[in-house]
């Protein structure tokens, strides 16, 4: 679960303040008032984002076979502060229902796609999940509110370092990051109840299949950069067989690494 940093409680009593003490108190009061106003603005923007996601859910229901998403998923989408996961100059656009660049040729995924991929995993509270492609850390933050543990891998060093620091600052205690090639998974912590891949692969990586628990699910976009990609739902049956289903045409940045 997410541990939310405590907010400054701005409760004021009449005090006989003088000089710098008075100035500091007034500045702190203005900061708190501004922070509350800022939080209210972001809350309204998140509500608008949720409304846009719900429109997309209805629009794609035939392909996804979903008339609505798990309320737990939608609650996570409504509470995770997406503006914390985008570059500062893009903060005004943080809650628009579209992907945004985060540097190094990578993007933070469209909120609807994040919600869809999360919902397809059919997560339980005690699940252990692997994410391939940490990016800014947004998908990991959404997952962390729904499961026991999240292990996330990023191959681009600056993004991995930034995401690790960001997730720590925001109090996500059950997310563990790693700088590595996600194609090979993270065998040490497997098998995983669910795996989500946030970049397009040319095929489903065999190491990830191996690290998926029997009865587990993987969601991964498959296809080339200049071709139609398909979001696949991969399920490993109790007897170890693998079934796949195409869910929706998508467009993701390519999975990088040796493969």
Active-site positions? 109
Please state, in angstroms and rounded to a whole number, the distance separating the CA atoms of residues 61 and 67: 5
Q: Which residue has the tokens 């397009």?
A: 200
Cα angle for residues 81, 98, 77 (degrees, 5° grid): 35
Neighbours of 195 (CB within 10 A): 30
Which strands sit side by side in the sheet containing 229-236, from one edge to the other? Answer: 175-179, 149-154, 128-132, 192-197, 212-222, 229-236, 242-250
Q: How far is the C-alpha of 160 from the C-alpha of 83, rounded, in Å?
A: 18
Q: Kindly tell me the sign of the dihedral angle through the C-alpha atoms of 97, 193, 65, 182.
A: positive
Residues 6 or more apart whose Cβ sits within 8 Å of residue 80: 2, 138, 141, 142, 145
Residue 131 CA to residue 219 CA, distance in Å, equals: 10
Q: Are strands 175-179 and 229-236 parallel, antiparallel or unpaired?
A: unpaired
């Amino acid at each position: 679960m997410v541990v939310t940093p405590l907010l400054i409680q701005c409760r004021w009593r009449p005090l006989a303040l003088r000089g710098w003490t008075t100035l500091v108190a007034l500045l702190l009061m203005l900061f708190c008032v501004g922070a509350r106003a800022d939080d209210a603005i972001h809350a309204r923007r998140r509500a608008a984002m949720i409304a846009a996601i719900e429109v997309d859910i209805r629009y794609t229901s035939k392909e996804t076979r979903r008339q609505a998403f798990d309320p737990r998923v939608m609650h996570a989408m409504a509470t995770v502060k997406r503006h914390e996961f985008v570059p500062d100059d893009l903060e005004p656009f943080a809650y628009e229902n579209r992907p945004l660049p985060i540097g190094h040729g990578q993007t933070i995924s469209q909120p609807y796609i994040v919600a869809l991929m999360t919902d397809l995993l059919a997560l339980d509270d005690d699940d252990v999940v692997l994410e391939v492609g940490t990016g800014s850390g947004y998908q990991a933050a959404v997952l962390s509110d729904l499961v026991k543990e999240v292990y996330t891998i990023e191959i681009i060093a600056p993004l991995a370092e930034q995401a690790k620091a960001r997730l720590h600052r925001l109090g996500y205690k059950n997310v563990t990051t790693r700088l590595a090639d996600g194609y090979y998974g993270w065998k040490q912590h497997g098998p995983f109840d669910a795996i989500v891949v946030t970049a397009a692969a040319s095929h489903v990586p065999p190491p990830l299949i191996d690290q998926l628990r029997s009865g587990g699910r993987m969601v991964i976009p498959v296809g080339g950069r200049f071709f139609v990609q398909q979001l696949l739902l991969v399920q490993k049956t109790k007897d170890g067989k693998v079934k796949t289903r195409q869910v929706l045409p998508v467009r993701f940045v390519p999975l990088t690494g040796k493969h």
